[in-house]
Amino acid sequence: MKNFFILAVSILFPLFLHAQSFKVKGSGFQNFIFNDKINGNQIQFSSSTPLEDIHGTASNISGSVSFDQNNFEKTLKGKLLVPVKSINTGIELRNKHLQSTSWLNEPKFPLIVFEVKSVSSLKQIADNKLAFKVNGSFTMHGVTINLLADAEAIYMNESEQTVKRGPGDLLGITANFSLKLSDFKVDNSLIGNKVAENIFLKILIVGSNKLQ
pLDDT at residue 193 greater than cutoff 90: no
- Please report the pLDDT score of residue 119 as a whole number: 97
- Please report the pLDDT score of residue 6 as a whole number: 47
pLDDT tens for each residue of 15-29: 444 446 788 877 789
pLDDT at residue 211 greater than cutoff 90: no
Q: How far apart are alpha carbons 81 and 64 in whole angstroms? A: 9
Query: CA nearest 20: which of 79, 87, 83, 67?
Result: 67
Query: CA nearest 206: which of 160, 162, 159?
Result: 162
Sequence ranges of the domains in the chain: 2-208
Fold of the domain built from segment(s) 2-208 = Lipocalin (2.40.128)
pLDDT tens for each residue of 82-140: 999 999 999 999 899 899 998 999 999 999 999 999 999 999 999 999 999 999 999 99
At 152, is the pLDDT very low, low, confident or very high (cuts 50, 70, 90)? Answer: very high
pLDDT tens for each residue of 130-151: 999 999 999 999 999 999 999 9
Strand partners for 157: none
At 189, is the pLDDT very low, low, confident or very high (cuts 50, 70, 90)? Answer: low
Q: How far apart are alpha carbons 162 and 74 in whole angstroms? A: 27
pLDDT at residue 12 greater than cutoff 70: no
Q: How far apart are alpha carbons 103 and 124 in whole angstroms? A: 41
pLDDT at residue 75 greater than cutoff 70: yes
